[in-house]
Amino acid sequence: MPSLWNYLPAFLHLLYALCLGGLALYGLHALWLTLHYWRRGCAAPCPTPILLPTAALPRVTVQLPIYNERHVVERLIAACAQLDYPRHKLQIQVLDDSDDSTTALVQRIIHSWQQRGLDIEVIRRAHRVGFKAGALADALPTAKGEYIAIFDADFVPPSIFLQHTLPHFLASGNASLGFVQARWGHLNQDYSLLTRCQALALDGHFVVEQTARMAAGYPFGFNGSAGIWRRTCIEDPSVGGWQADTLCEDLDLSYRAHLAGWRGLFLGDLEVPGEIPAQLLAFKRQQFRWAKGSVQTLRKLAGRVVHHPWPPTHRLAALAHLGNYLIHPLLLLLLLVTLPMVALGINPAAPLGYLSLFSLGPPLLYAVAQQRLYPTTWLRRWALLPLLMLIGTGLALNNTIAVFQGLTGTGGDFLRTPKFHVRSRADHWQRSSYRLPLPRLVLAEFALACYALAAATLGAAQGQWGTALFLLLYTAGFGLMAGVGCWQAWQSRPRPAPALHTEQPALDVDGERLPL
């Protein structure tokens, strides 16, 4: 009778095939969206909104959910206060859940704008129940507007934002339009290689993915900031309002709106710039929250999506969108099974050739996005794709943990992404008390880099050069995560503050010297 050991090669082959199949579907999905963009998205610009007289303009409430944002909150409020819209029809609510000096700063800023006649108020809760979703739900009953615009703390909306979004709601035939999402721009994409790679990834999502999904009639997500909602859509009983049972309350609400018969509109030509995380650990925390929240939304709504009377392509597109972060467990499992396969004398490189046929999707998607945004410099920007691939590979462990928690319902804290008001290379975040400490996860990433290197060495010793080169991508990706994390932690280690030789008055806030 054969032992279980005899079945091990077949089991490894099965796991390997499942991983490659999932990754191939991911690449095919990216290619599918790119082709849709070419066929429909780039050839079908959004209709020009009608211009309305002041008397016909509706009341609008701008909600700014913040938590410990003293570096950027003044910039945010100033931008929203200068929106080009009649003052008597504009209300601004600052939803402040802060527990640091941000609260006092917000009070001072709001008082200043109230003195200038702006309808602006701060709303504070006794407890952060539900985190961002809870804050938005808590403030909605006191909102005066028929439309609710939302901006996170790291965004700077242009003054024309309401002029370019509201008329779409009021245009003929748009009674079912539930939300309008603008494209995210980048305040600091040239700060470092890390921010430039993040900009490359975000551009691909907004320019190609969001445009293609909307043009094809597929459901797509509200991105949590730089968008505006029809209030009756949020309050529709079949939608259910803001809910805090996922960490992506924005994606959850937008999909529930689609399922209830509402539509979304993406405006790719309206850019709202935001600040990209400059600290690697902040970026990883952001990715963790997005990955976990997306999978939580998938678990919550997959049944409704499958049984909804959408065409099959729409249901497949929705499931692929909600399950996009499942790629990271596949990447990690692919690495883990490769070493025992190589040790058993199995060459995993042959199936990789089939995967490469589908892996053209993401590079093409990013190239199209850069060419659309930067016609003269797109190739130089797109050349960072290999580094972005290493970052994506290195995120596999971080995001796999997030996916596991999302699928199993474990963990639930909303961990904010710190913002530092970093715009140029002259700005620094290393002394801020918001900087994140180095987590123990870096040890596991270093161990995975060594694991991949050992597998690559073993493959090379057996003449499996294709497998060895593929595994070196894992080595570099996890090594990059661990190395950059440690280097930035060393940069931001506690040091005695140097004497400030300046005549500009400064205020000591939580151990930092901030200019008044």
Q: Would you state the structure tokens that stand for residue 169, as one six-digit string?
A: 């709601």
Distance, in Å, from the CA atom of 134 to the CA atom of 388, rounded to the nearest integer, reads 34
Note the pLDDT of residue 2: 58
Domain map of the chain by residue range?
59-324
User: Quick one: 59-324 is in which CATH superfamily?
Assistant: Spore Coat Polysaccharide Biosynthesis Protein SpsA; Chain A (3.90.550.10)
Note the pLDDT of residue 416: 87
494: pLDDT confidence band, cut at 50, 70 and 90?
A: confident
**H/E stretch holding 185:** strand 177-186
Please write the tens of the pLDDT for every residue from 212-238: 999 999 999 999 999 999 999 999 999
Query: Helices 102-115 and 73-81 sit at what angle, rounded to 10 degrees?
Result: 20
Q: Tell me, what DSSP letter sits at residue 515?
A: E
Q: Cα angle vertex 366, ends 364, 368, to 5°?
A: 70
Please write the tens of the pLDDT for every residue from 349-398: 766 666 666 788 999 999 999 999 999 999 999 999 999 999 999 999 99
* Cβ contacts of 218 within 8 Å, gap of 6 or more: 212, 313, 314, 317, 318, 321
The average confidence (pLDDT) of the chain is: 91
Q: Does 44 score more than 50 pLDDT?
A: no
**H/E stretch holding 22:** helix 8-36
Note the pLDDT of residue 181: 98
Which three-class secondary structure state does DSSP give residue 508? strand
Q: Does 462 score more than 50 pLDDT?
A: yes
Q: Tell me, what DSSP letter sits at residue 326?
A: G
Q: Does 432 score more than 80 pLDDT?
A: yes
Distance, in Å, from the CA atom of 8 to the CA atom of 17, rounded to the nearest integer, reads 14
Decide if 191 contacts 227 (C-beta within 8 A). no
Question: What type of residue sits at position 273?
Answer: P
List the one residue out of 109, 117, 11 whose CA is nearest residue 64.
109
Decide if 422 contacts 314 (C-beta within 8 A). no
Within 389-509, strands assigned E span 506-509
Q: Does 511 score more than 50 pLDDT?
A: no
507: pLDDT confidence band, cut at 50, 70 and 90?
A: very low
Q: Does 505 score more than 70 pLDDT?
A: no
Note the pLDDT of residue 71: 96
CA distances from 458 to 7, 472, 475 (A): 22, 12, 14
502 or 457: whose pLDDT is higher? 457
Percent of the chain with pLDDT over 70: 91
pTM for this predicted structure: 0.92
Distance, in Å, from the CA atom of 48 to the CA atom of 46, rounded to the nearest integer, reads 6
User: Strand order of the sheet with strand 177-186?
Assistant: 120-123, 90-96, 60-66, 147-150, 227-230, 177-186, 263-274
Note the pLDDT of residue 39: 81
- The number of residues in the chain equals 516
Note the pLDDT of residue 126: 85
Decide if 457 contacts 342 (C-beta within 8 A). no
Note the pLDDT of residue 347: 83
Decide if 143 contacts 231 (C-beta within 8 A). yes
| Average confidence (pLDDT) over 342-349 | 85
List the one residue out of 286, 280, 488 whose CA is nearest residue 390.
280
List the one residue out of 449, 432, 466, 420 whose CA is nearest residue 71.
420
Q: Buried b vs exposed e over 228-258: b needs ≥16 C-beta within 10 Å? A: bbbbebbebeebeebbbebbbbbbbbbbbbb
Within 225-376, strands assigned E span 227-230, 263-274
Q: Buried b vs exposed e over 335-358: b needs ≥16 C-beta within 10 Å? A: bbbbbebbeeebebbebbeebeeb
Note the pLDDT of residue 498: 53
Active site residues: 97, 250
466: pLDDT confidence band, cut at 50, 70 and 90?
A: confident
The position carrying tokens 């709106």 is 257
**H/E stretch holding 294:** helix 280-307
| Average confidence (pLDDT) over 336-348 | 91
Note the pLDDT of residue 424: 85
Distance, in Å, from the CA atom of 474 to the CA atom of 457, rounded to the nearest integer, reads 13
Burial bucket for residue 17 (CB in 10 Å: 0-12, 13-18, 19+) = exposed
Note the pLDDT of residue 64: 98
Note the pLDDT of residue 55: 80
Q: Would you state the structure tokens that stand for residue 35, as one six-digit string?
A: 């082709």
Decide if 278 contacts 492 (C-beta within 8 A). no
Burial bucket for residue 173 (CB in 10 Å: 0-12, 13-18, 19+) = exposed
Tell me how far apart the terminal alpha carbons of the chain are, to the nearest angstrom.
80
Q: Does 156 score more than 80 pLDDT?
A: yes
